[in-house]
Amino acid sequence: MNAFKSTLLYFLATTCLLTSPLVYAGRPNFPAPPQAKVEWVSKNMQVNGIPTAIRAFHTQESIEQVIKFYRREWQRPVDKGKPGFMETIDAAPWYIISRIEDDYLLTVQVQVKENDKSGAWGYLSMSPLVDPKANPIELGKGMPKMPGSHVLSENKSRDPGKNATTVIITNEHSVPSNVTFYRNFYDGKGWTKETDRALGNDEVHSLVFKTKKQRVTLMLLKDQSQTRIVINYVTNSIF
């Protein structure tokens, strides 16, 4: 998994922890930092069942300047007696500032550029709030997993000709036991094995299986006493 994908997965896991969207009005204005270069990551992504729009930005301004901009933009309290924004500094290397407005959660996540310490980059995420009375969404429904597994997150995206789902699962079984489970599951369904490689001392293992229109990539990692499994499932519709 490359650095961009792993960073994005972290972003999705830390900025969208709710489960069921409310009925909402029009979207609030969510400006990017001035002079920043902005590109869409996805206009049509679902993070743990919530429709989420995500943009990436790059700027020559510092983190302090970016945060100062949003403090000014969001200084007006949403409700009487409540702050206009919330800040999180304990998610290093990220600095997070967020605001709830018009039944939406607006989140800015920013860090220093690796090759230019004077600049910064990050993500802008907008997602509707949730109805606390709604039934929780079953994450990872239909995804194969060993007994006792817990689904941490599920992210879905739709792009022209391609749909993708990324699920992060954890359980107390060993990495080799999980590898055997997924190897048997996809071999048993007739998928073609493309990659089956241990990456050191049974602590990391990579699996890739495919059919004509589908491809699944699994990264299995030892995480203290547990195993963490990242599954990326892609379906192509252009064939």
CATH number at residue 180: 3.30.530.20
Same domain, 10 and 115: yes
Tell me, yes or no, whether 137 lies in a domain: no
Count of CB atoms within 10 A of residue 80's CB? Answer: 5
- The residues near 176 (Cβ < 8 Å, ≥ 6 apart) are 202, 205
Same domain, 13 and 121: yes
Cα-Cα-Cα-Cα torsion 135, 139, 142, 144, nearest 10 degrees, comes to -140
Tell me, yes or no, whether 144 lies in a domain: no
Tell me, yes or no, whether 136 lies in a domain: no
Q: Is the pLDDT of residue 228 over 60?
A: yes
Count of CB atoms within 10 A of residue 164's CB? Answer: 17
Alpha helical stretches, state H, 100-205: 175-188
- Tell me, what's the pLDDT at 129? 87
Same domain, 99 and 17: yes
Same domain, 193 and 102: no
Same domain, 116 and 175: no
- The residues near 1 (Cβ < 8 Å, ≥ 6 apart) are 9, 219, 230
Tell me, yes or no, whether 135 lies in a domain: no
Same domain, 107 and 160: no
101-111 b/e with 16+ CB inside 10 Å = b? bebbbbbbbbb
Tell me, yes or no, whether 16 lies in a domain: yes
Q: What is the pLDDT of residues 80-108, one digit of tens each?
A: 888 999 998 777 789 999 999 998 999 99
Same domain, 10 and 124: yes
Which structural domain, as residue segments, surrounds residue 28? 3-128
> How open is the CA angle 139-143-146, to the nearest 5 degrees?
100
Q: What is the count of structural domains for the chain? A: 2
Residue 76's domain is classified under what CATH number? 3.30.530
- Tell me, what's the pLDDT at 238? 64
Q: Tokens standing for 164?
A: 């993708």
The rounded radius of gyration (Å) of the Cα atoms in the chain is 20
**Taking all residues of the chain, what is their mean pLDDT, rounded to a whole number?**
86
Q: Which of 61, 94, 128 is the last residue of a domain?
A: 128
Tell me, yes or no, whether 133 lies in a domain: no
Same domain, 204 and 103: no
Sign of CA dihedral 107, 122, 223, 221: positive
- Tell me, what's the pLDDT at 7? 45
> What band does 187 get if pLDDT is binned at 50, 70 and 90?
very high
Alpha helical stretches, state H, the chain: 3-15, 63-73, 175-188
Q: Is the pLDDT of residue 110 over 50?
A: yes
Q: Which of 128, 159, 183 is the last residue of a domain?
A: 128
What percent of the chain has pLDDT above 70?
A: 87
Same domain, 110 and 172: no
Sign of CA dihedral 50, 51, 57, 62: negative
Same domain, 119 and 222: no
Same domain, 165 and 93: no
190: left (phi over 0), alpha (psi -120 to 50) or beta: left
Sheet holding 50-59, edge to edge: 86-91, 94-101, 104-112, 120-128, 50-59, 37-47, 150-159, 162-171, 226-236, 214-223, 204-210, 192-198
Same domain, 124 and 157: no
Helix (H) or strand (E) holding 138: none
Q: Which of 79, 98, 128 is the last residue of a domain?
A: 128
Tell me, yes or no, whether 140 lies in a domain: no
Q: What is the pLDDT of residues 69-83, one digit of tens each?
A: 999 999 999 888 889
